[in-house]
Amino acid sequence: MTPFRTAIEVAAGIRRGELSARDLTEELFARIDASTVNAVIATCRDFALEAASEADRAVARGDDVGPLHGVPMTIKDAFAVQGLPTTWGEPAFADCVADEDAAVVARLRAAGAIVVGKSNVHHLLADFGRTDNPLHGRTLNPRDHTRTPGGSSGGAAAALADGLTSLEYGSDLAGSIRIPAAYCGVYGLKPTPGTVSLRGFQPPGPPAPLAREFPSAVGPLARSAADLRLALDVTGGPLRPARHARLEDFRVGVVLDDPACPVTGEVGAALSDAVDALARAGVRIREGWPADVDPIAQAEAFGFQVDLFFASQEGREPAGTAEQERRRAALTAAWDRYFADLDGFLCPTVFTTAPAHDDRHRYEDQVFWIAQASLPGLPAVSAPVGGVRPAGLQVVGPPHEDDTALTFAELAADVVGGFVPPGAGSSRVLDR
């Protein structure tokens, strides 16, 4: 059985009786055991195998089943999963076993998914460029073990790229879904903030005060944009319909490079080729930043918002908050005007492909392109382009119109390509 099916393909095969949930789950555990990337750090084998057997029995009985019925998946080790430790990579939390599921986990289970284990995170989720912690160690990029998978959802992205799961769920404050998705060549969605409940997404212990949740969001990672849509629908509720159903009906803005954060040659070439292919397919392209949007100021303002997010957890408010909130409101209004005429905005997810472990060259620049969607609270998909040496194309959508971004990314895969398994037909070496 191929380990790289999409979650939708797996679910359809199980419903038709062509695939066995039990066999798929056993195969997944065998791959996890054999993997050398250290992406999956905890499993619940007996529970998952019995749930998979029951899923097969339900199909045999002709029961009504959910859209993810029998699909085995892992989830980021920052969400509470009943019966499994919630560690955040911190040794002091090693024995903190959750007694109930996070909201995301409960909704995935209600849709029929089988949570088989948890994926590795950076220590306390405190890094967007790598995944390493003193409890579970370092996660490697399946495409090149000398390279980082990104963070803090690096285990999630690596598990998908290595065929260790059918679907994943992560979190994104400063790119922790989108950067790993780009580095590992999978799809990742930062939804519009507030779309998906954060209940059960916290370190063990008493809940921290949540004075504000913006700009943090939780969202899915997958091997297709259609899987992202299904996972978001299951966990966040019905989505507002996409603006268009045909690629040629989309009008999008494009910025593929900027002097403030220039992209590497390989990323620039991959993204340029992708946009050229989209234009040939009929997508109407407008180049340039939106009016009244200064990308440098937007990145700086986002940095303040991240600081404000953490300050709010501690019950304090940094100086200048009111002025920064006015700046954010003005930028949000500018993007609203932009999306009155256009359906999306395309830009790099990050300026490079996956760097070497511990390579801090231009490290802070990794957030520049992420900030452009995060500060105004826009949904953003990181889609892989460039085949087996992937770059991340960030598809930014209008606020609360996540499915517009998802649909564009799904349709675009037909002309620019999508997920490619590691080592499939070309060199595994990323740009240096």
Tens of pLDDT, residues 107-119: 999 999 999 999 9
Region 247-416: CATH code? 3.90.1300.10
| Sequence-ordered list of residues with C-beta below 8 angstroms from that of 277, at least 6 positions apart, any chain | 415, 416
76 is catalytic: yes
Q: What digits encode the pLDDT tens for the residues 171-227?
A: 999 999 999 999 999 999 999 999 999 999 999 988 765 556 678 899 999 999 999
The answer to which of 91-95, 148-152, 347-351, 388-392 has the lowest mean pLDDT is 388-392
Q: Which of 76, 119, 171, 374 is catalytic?
A: 76
Band (pLDDT 50/70/90 cuts) for residue 423 is confident
- The CATH class for the domain spanning 7-236 reads alpha beta
User: Helix 45-61 crosses helix 21-34 at what angle (to 10 degrees)?
Assistant: 160
**Residue 382 bears catalytic tag:** no
Point out the catalytic residue in the list 171, 176, 216, 312: 176
Token pair, residue 309, equals 């997010």
Q: Span 137-152, mean pLDDT?
A: 97
Domain ranges of the chain: 7-236, 247-416
- In terms of Cβ atoms closer than 10 Å to its own Cβ (0-12, 13-18, 19+), residue 334 is middle
Predicted confidence at residue 427, as pLDDT, reads: 33
pLDDT band at 367 (very low <50, low <70, confident <90, very high): very high
| Domain pair 7-236 / 247-416, same fold | yes
Residue 158 pLDDT greater than 80, yes or no: yes
Paired residues of 40 in beta bridges: 119
- What percentage of the chain carries pLDDT values higher than 70? 96
What is the pLDDT at residue 310?
Answer: 79
pLDDT in tens, 222-278: 999 999 999 999 999 999 999 999 999 999 999 999 999 999 999 999 999 999 999
pTM above 0.75, yes or no: yes
Catalytic pick from 20, 119, 152, 171?
152
152 annotated active-site: yes
pLDDT of amino acid 431 = 37
The whole-number pLDDT of residue 311 equals: 79
Check pLDDT > 60 for residue 37. Answer: yes
396 and 347 Cβ atoms separated by less than 8 Å: yes
Burial class for 167, CB neighbours closer than 10 Å (0-12, 13-18, 19+): buried
